Structure 1
Amino acid sequence: MLVGLVTNAVSEQSQWPSWLGWLQENPWLSFVILGVVAAGLTGLLAALDDRQVPARSPEPAVRPDDGAGPPGAARVLRSLPRDSTAFTNRAAELESLVRSVQASQENGEGLPVHVIDGMPGVGKTAFVVHAGHVLADRFPDGQLFVNLNGHTTGRSPVQAGEALASLLAAVGVPTQQIPVGDDVGAITEARAAMWRSRFADKKALLILDNAASYRQLEPLLPGGTGCLVLVTSRKRLAAHEEVVLPVDALPRDHAVDLFVRLSGRPSDMLDEGVLNELVGLCGYLPLGVSLLAARLRHHPSWSAEDLHERLVAAQDRLGELRAGERAVTATFDLSYRDLTPERQRFFRQLGFYPGTDLDAYVGAALGAVSVATARRYLDALYDDNLIDEYPGSRYRLHDLLRDYARGLAAEGDSMDQVQAVQRVCTYYLAALAVANGRIVRSGAVAPPPPDGAQQVETPALPSRSDALNWVENERANVLACIRQADSLALHDAVIRLAAAMAPFLRQSGPWDQAVGLHRTAAEAARQTGDQQALADALAELGVVRRFMAAYPEATEALSEAVTQYDAVGDRRGKANALNQAGIVWYLTADNEDAARAQTEALALYREVGDRLGQANALADLGMVRRQMSDFDAAVEAQSEALSIYRELGDRYGEGNSLRDLGVVHCLMGAYDVAVQHHQEAFDIYVELDDRLHQAYALNELGVVRRLPGDLEGARDAHTQALEYYTELGDRFGRANSIRHIGTLDRLSGDGPNAIRALQEALDAYRDLGSRGGEAASLSELGAARGMVGEQDSAVEAFQRSLEILRQLGDRCGEAEVLNHWGALLRTSGNEAQARGHFEQALRLARDVRCPLEEARALEGVGRCDLGIDGSTEAAELLREAITVYRSLGAGASADEVERLLASRAG
């Protein structure tokens, strides 16, 4: 507008009248004045707009999780809930939905989000479930149902990140692959991207029930155009390209039909006027009508007039409620008063349950009754339409009924809620103790069951898979109980439940969820001054941080745990924390600290007689010694660990020790022994159905195949390992596979692809803080860059690699870099300088007994001597290299040197 005014002002086509002529005579000054005025008005309007914001009707808040409280989780059903028998004629709404979906599919258009809104009790969930069953055949890739708790009393709305983690797990994404981290926004975006990618080409149905706002559900929308998303909410959501289907109260005749059908009475026995009055008092809401009809069905001696009289009396008694909910609440009260006193108490206790859904075992804990009794009560409440049934013999209260149950419970003793939550926590502790008996490794110490666990009925979990499935199904409910216990200052329950969930979360994740849990447990321990519990929580926090490759945070937590264990005199706990800290230092190649931690942990394990701990410390110490090129010490430690693992029957430990022994023997040139160890380890991991460790073994097998010259066999192994790592989300293992594939590309003469792969691996190692991986990638990257003529970049990579390796004390790796660098110098014509690098490599390789690098160094010195003066000593060095190559089975390298000697002799 300003530009237009000034353009007009400087125009010579016309003269402006009155004071506007001054603007025309001073156009640029006018421009400045008008700009200042516009800016001032903009600021004023913004201020006025901000001051009006509170007057708007905001969407229910979906607060970002700052990590300060216990974690949450969403409950996802992998199939639709059962279609409701109380569903009544919604022909117009259903026809509109089906027509919209059909039109989009036939035209090849993306399916819009369909939002079903309406007041509580109007039947939104029943409608989308029924519609889902009608439309299921159009979406063969599956149906998912998730309750977002947008308006559930006592539950915070499900955060988008939590819902995404649960959805990804529900569609088969391994939890280790689900992105984790401390930046909630970034992690939500990463999970959303993975979710969209997974469903990019799917035809699936997703029901998002009880949404609070569009902001809550937007990250959950699939990326593919073939997915149908049905959303229910109590308010209109501002979705893009949405189709809104409002679900209103039933028309009077439909409400009457529903009442007659559910009452079990012939229509000719019911007075039409009374029926109209009854459904009118229910506000024509399906929930109220179905409850009222059930009352009549369960009282054959009542007439419709009797029911009407009772409903009017109940409505009068609850007259203080808002008009919109009064009639429905009156039907609740009428249904409630019809229950026996025992069932009334049981129903009230359900209002205290923090979770989303429950089974008979949880019901028994809530009601302080037997499981058989709880099952009868739940079935009766379902028959009375006071509770909904879901697949797997699970039940859930409608939000309005939950509100009603809580209101009834609030009229009693204020301690009832605390006691109910305590009983449920005790049940979960007892059940988790059974599950952990199947989950933890042989010889490991599982969290103990609670006092009185023998009196608590728990489900039978005969196998490890049964235990894992049970914990996965109950995860959201256990975390909800921890949140409730934390809000009620039940610190002991928080601490013990966090410890009981730790074994499952260690291996199943998501690990950011575990971080939030252990932080909450640590804070609870600090509140109570329980140093033992604090140490345990910090140790678990450190382990999970290590899994997340957050090494500084892991070290901090584990170091504090060591201090706390010292303070309470827990030597076993201190040893465990030292062992875990040593693993972190090994991963970051802080070898001296790692060796010190494992040695101290080993001594403590021996003092307390912990054989599994001794084996773990020995195995981890062996890996550190191997990384320091102290191969004899590595074999000694790892062999002792292997013996203990076999004594304990710990197959995981046995497989891990065999794999690392294979790595050491590979470095020492005993390739046949290395292959045997790696194959044995791989077979154990297959037996255990552990794809992550299978990937580790495959990578090592690939290395052993590559060194003697079997490049195709090596590529097959590394490619399969890469697939497993990518599927499981192991970033470190994936970087290793990519680095090995880059090396194969270099050896095959494909320099550009080698550089791309090695640069990707290098970036990943740097992101993870792995200096050993960084050094190995730089070594190979230097060789690849030299191959394509990028000599300066190659030298820079070699220099940085050597710097890191010398800091780490990895002399075998140092010899490999010097050999690469010498080869680059020799092919560049600088044979004298190249000879110096090969000689350094030869001394190092012989010092640590690394025969492959010894052979390469001998070959390098011999080739340099041939180029310099053609001395007879060169031939002797080359023949010595051939002998070492042959002893290693590296026939291709030996053949190449022999051809060189033959050509010189000719």
Structure 2
Amino acid sequence: MAIAVVAGGGAVTTMLVGLVTNAVSNQAHWPGFLGWVQRHAWASFALLGVVTVGFTALLAALSETRSSAPDTVPPRQEGGSEPPGAALVLRSLPRDISAFTDRTAELERLVGSVRTCQENGEALPVHVIDGMPGVGKTSFAVHAGHVLSGRFPDGQLFVNLNGHTTGRNPVQATEALASLLAATGVPAQQIPVGDDAGAVTEARAAMWRGQLADKRALLILDNAASYRQLEPLLPGDGGCLVLVTSRKRLAAHEEVVLQVEALSPEHAVALFVRLSGRSRDALDPAVLDELVRLCGCLPLGVSLLAARLRHHPTWSVADLLERLVAVRDRLGELRAGDRAIVSTFDLSYRDLPPERRYFFQLLGCYPGTDIDAYAGAAVGSTTVDDARRHLDALYDAHLIDEHPGSRYRLHDLLRDYARRLADEGDSMNHVQAVGRVCAYYLSALTAVNTHIARGSAQVANSPVPQEPMSTPPLDSRSAALGWLENERPNVLACIKRANELDLHGLVIRLAAAMAPFLRQSGPWDQAVGLHRAAAEAARRTGDRRALAGALAELGVVRRCMAAYPEAVEALHEAEVLYEAVGDRKGRADALNQAGIVRYMTADNEAAVRAQSEALSIYRELGDRLGQANALADLGMVRRQMSRFDEAVEAQSEALSIYRELHDRYGEANSLRDLGIVHCLMGEYDRAARRHREAFDIYQELDDRHHQAYALNELGLVRRLVGDVAGSHDAHTQALEIYTDLGDRFGRANSVRHLGALHRVSGRAPEAIRLLEQALETYRELGARGGIAATLSELGSARGATGEREAAVEAFARSLEIHRELGDRCGEAEVLNNWGALLRVSDEVTAARDRFQLALGLAAAIRCPLEEARALEGIGRCDRSLGGSRGGEGPLRQAIAVYRSLGAGTAAADIERLLAVQPG
């Protein structure tokens, strides 16, 4: 209801804009009450402003309410180490079944139900399609989806929930939601993460419902295990159609159950005739009836038998029946409980040449959701061309289904069947097949990481099958990322299966190989589960070096999640292990990452110790990239401690090494941080150049996260030189990117900068709202530097609205934190802000004391902006105490510094003050 009110208000506002514009232009005459708008144009503008402000505030409040869930995921205790799963989501429906037969009554009932609800404006109920295995539930759902797709123009999604898939656990709702959100365009980093599975599921479900709000989309949830599994996936908007298939009868609320039964004998015979390619007149009716009866009139069995007959043009239906009867009891019952279906599978299987039978058996060992020729070659220990021929032939024989992108998938019953065939043979075949496909994914990931990982992705030294593996051509970053997005569920499924088979070396190596992708693409809770599994595998094998690697990656991901205490714990344990096994580079890497965490929490002294020790080790090892990384991170810490000369020295050396190594990413990072230091030193032109150079490289690398970082810093420079509009544009762009990525720390920075911009522009109430929002996030993340900077701005904003006690409290706390952090530039800024409040409150002597302290700090660290502000404050206080000629010396010094900084507006204000003569 509230959203509708806002939408209506937006419409009214739009209309008023048009009317008022027209009224002012005088190009037309409006009838009735609209004439009043034309005759009273300026009153109309005022009305427009009131309406716009009112609805903007309402929309903002609603936005905060809706977005609060993902940001408030509570932590839970450390859980198990089982690798994460992932759901396969198709962004469009699978191919329709050309041989779809009958189901007229069920289809008419479904279409009629949808049409009635849409025409009456009613919410669409969940439609549950149930029935026994092989009866054609998925085929019916897909066919119905194609029939109804025109009624749902906002998209169609198909999700396999693996409710009854051999060798695979049902997909958890939280993983299905992550895949659905990604399929609808939500960046992986924006998808809520956390350790509390229940809270994460709720947050993702809320975001999913928000994605589908006011949409007309079609969602097929295939192979559901229970209502509990699918309930979080249901859209909140009644305009979306949900079709659920399940072997179980699900107890859903407001559902419409469509029972799909076996075909009638008449329709089963018609399907058989159509697929067999024979003339009905040439087939014995009695034999046809017996064949479909033995199949239980199930479409899957009928299709397989018909395909077998089509491939043997010399056979008669009597020959087919004889063979079916002969093999009927060979394997006994599958869990579907129908002997005839098993016999049908066996007939189709026995019709294959020996090498294809073996290939089909091994497909039952494949842990993934869908498969292509490259993975098929690994599973079947054959060439890619042979695997492609096998897959095409198995598709022609109706033993596998085709999926988009030259991929294939086994029906659950056929997977059961293939797995049972494999189990009857050599028990090592299964383990070896899983090992081969894991080795294939490891080879492919190695190629992928040449495009997406800085330097080389570290992979633990565990043995893997030494077989040459053909991998798809991945010759660009975009191709590598696209392949990884498609293969993520399969890689994670393979790691999970390898873990179950105690293939610990493969678990360790695959987790390490997936680390660069998951680190930057998320979801990070998925990465946490993966690295925990790798750590547990390393503990079981006693491989301390691999354990250290897994813990180091776990620490990095925890830092990305802003779980800083957990990150420090994991990285410390990794460092100790690396030292124990004599891996000095690994130890330096762990120290470097720990230093970054300490920097993020503004524990500067600890950060300096960690980065300095890491730098020393890198230099001893001759590791140039390691040296550059440690120098760059050390420069950031020095800058945060207001030791600007040392920061420039460290960052410049890092920049030189990055350029020597042609590391564009590192080059951009150093340029950006040099820009920050130059800004603090008052060198605004140089700072702006550095930030623009960094931004251009980030654009070249398609790194949106760091583009936002550079935009924020560029926006700050523009604010300091008086370009308010340019500053607002830069911070707003950064905020949009951080919001898309789900980076809460970056988003808080953008919000803080926008709050400061509103404060200096005289919009104190809006500034307070934004600054309080940023402060809350910083406190949740434990980011003390952000807290201190925000409190300083908040004190000034509250002072502007007359909240003196609150302002003083904010200044005092900010000053305390800045002193704890050793941030003298920040300390000087707070003192100047506090002094400004005291001066306008007629506490001139106390104000001058604050300005004098700020001046000493700013001069000592060469922070000219705060030096100029302190001189101006002292001069204005002296003028208040000593008359119109007082304070001239400090004021003229302030003018000189402001002029050198390019802050002409501030200098002009003081010049006007000095121009006032006594009397």
Provide the TM-score with structure 1 as the length reference. Answer: 0.91
Q: In the alignment, which of 641, 651, 665 is matched to residue 678 of structure 2?
A: 665
Task: Identify the match of residue 748 of structure 2 among 716, 727, 735.
Answer: 735
How many residues align structurally?
A: 843
**1:449 & 1:395 partners in 2: Cα distance?**
31
Q: Give the percent of matched residue pairs that are identical in Structure 1 and Structure 2.
A: 74
Looking at structure 1, the residues matched to 767 and 201 of structure 2 have their Cα atoms a distance apart, in angstroms, of 33
1:645 CA displacement: 0.9
Please say which of residues 262-271 and 894-903 is displaced more in the overlay. 894-903
Aligned-partner Cα distance in 2 for 1:443–1:329:
49
Task: Please state if 1:537 is matched with 2:550.
Answer: yes
Greater Cα offset, 884-893 or 620-629: 884-893
Q: How does 1:689-700 map to 2 (within 5 A)?
A: 689-700=702-713
Q: What is aligned with 1:130?
A: 143
One-letter amino acid of the counterpart of residue 159, structure 1: Q
What does 1:125-164 align with in structure 2 at a 5 Å threshold?
Answer: 125-164=138-177
Structure 1 gaps, min length 5:
1-63
Distance verdict in 2 for CA 1:475–1:782, change over 3 Å: same
Aligned counterparts of 1:346 and 1:520: Cα–Cα separation in 2: 30
* Aligned CA distance change for structure 1 residues 624 and 416 (closer, same or farther; 3 Å): same
Relative to structure 1, the CA distance from residue 448 to residue 535 in structure 2 (aligned partners, 3 Å threshold; closer, same or farther) is: closer
1:444–1:612 contact (8 Å) kept in structure 2: no
Amino acid at match of 1:89: D
- Are the structure 2 counterparts of residues 622 and 858 from structure 1 closer, same or farther at C-alpha, using a change threshold of 3 Å? same
Q: 1:307 aligns with which of 320, 336, 339?
A: 320
Whether the 8 Å CA contact 2:460–2:512 is kept in 1: the answer is yes
Provide the rounded CA distance (Å) in 1 between the counterparts of 2:180 and 2:336.
38
1:222 is matched with which residue?
235
Say whether 1:401 aligns with 2:414.
yes
Alignment of 1:476-875 (within 5 A): 476-870=489-883, 872-875=885-888
Cα separation, 1, equivalents of 2:456 and 2:855: 45
Aligned pairs (5 A) from 1:347-362: 347-362=360-375
Q: Which amino acid aligns with 2:724?
A: L
Whole-angstrom distance in 2 between the partners of 1:550 and 1:804:
21
Q: Partner of 2:711: helix, strand, or coil?
A: helix
Q: Is the 8 A contact 2:884 2:918 kept in 1?
A: no
**Residue 86 of structure 1: how far off its partner (Å):** 3.3
In the alignment, structure 1 residue 467 sits paired with structure 2 residue 480: yes
Q: Which of 171, 175, 188 is matched with 1:175 structurally?
A: 188
Deviation at 1:545, TM superposition (A): 0.5
Aligned-pair CA distance for 1:372: 1.1
Quote how far apart the aligned CAs of 1:530 are: 0.4
Change (3 A) 1:157 1:451: closer
The alpha carbon displacement at 1:650 in A equals 1.0
Q: Does 1:254 align with 2:263?
A: no
Q: Does 2:113 align with 1:100?
A: yes
Structure 2 distance, partners of 1:465, 1:515, is 25
Q: Which residue of 1 aligns with 2:894?
A: 881
Q: Give the corresponding residue for 1:32.
A: none
Work out the CA distance in 2 between the residues paired with 1:135 and 1:736: 46
Say whether the 8 Å CA contact 1:433–1:446 is kept in structure 2. Answer: no
Asked if 1 retains the 8 angstrom alpha-carbon contact of 2:459 and 2:512, the reply is no
Q: Contact 1:66–1:184 at 8 Å: present in 2 too?
A: no
Note the C-alpha offset of 1:713.
Answer: 1.4
Deviation at 1:865, TM superposition (A): 1.3
Letter in 1 for 2:442: L
2:381 alignment partner, one of 368, 371, 375: 368
The answer to whether the 8 A contact 2:828-2:854 is kept is yes
2:427 aligned with 1:414, yes or no? Answer: yes
1:250 and 1:285 in contact (8 A); partners too: yes
Conserved 8 A contact 1:258-1:290: yes
Q: Residue in 2 aligned with 1:9?
A: none
- Give the drift of 1:873: 4.9
| 8 A Cα contact 2:884 2:917, kept in partner | no
Higher mean C-alpha deviation, range 215-224 or range 440-449? 440-449
Provide closer, same or farther for how the CA distance between residues 67 and 190 of structure 1 changes in structure 2, counting only shifts above 3 A.
Answer: farther
In structure 2, the residue matched to 1:341 is: 354
1:118 maps to 131
> Quick check: 344-353 or 867-876, which moved more?
867-876
218, 230, 241: which one pairs with 1:205? 218
Shift in alpha-carbon separation, 1:290–1:65, aligned structure 2, 3 A: farther
CA deviations 1:425-466 (Å, max 9, x no partner) are 111111111111222125766778976666211111111111
**Secondary structure of the structure 1 residue equivalent to 2:352:** coil
Are residues 320 and 421 of structure 1, via their aligned partners in 2, closer, same or farther at CA, if it must alter by over 3 Å?
closer
CA distance in 1, matches of 2:816, 2:564: 21
For 1:541, the aligned partner's letter is L
Indicate conservation of the 8 Å contact 2:464/2:505, yes or no: no
Find the counterpart in structure 1 of residue 448 from structure 2: 435
Letter in 1 for 2:599: Y
Q: Secondary structure at the match of 2:721?
A: coil
Shift of 1:110: 2.2
Q: CA deviation at 1:741?
A: 0.7
Mapped to 1, the partners of 2:162 and 2:320 lie a distance apart of 34
User: 2:897, 2:485 → 1: CA distance?
Assistant: 54
Aligned to 1:60: none
- Alpha-carbon separation, structure 1, partners of 2:565 and 2:254: 45
| Counterparts in 2 of 1:460 and 1:320: CA distance versus 1, 3 Å | closer
Matched AA of 1:437: T
Question: What is the distance in 1 between the residues matched to 2:697 and 2:511?
Answer: 31
Does structure 1 residue 291 correspond to structure 2 residue 314?
no
Q: Which sits farther off after the overlay, 472-481 or 100-109?
A: 100-109
1:326 aligns with 2:339: yes
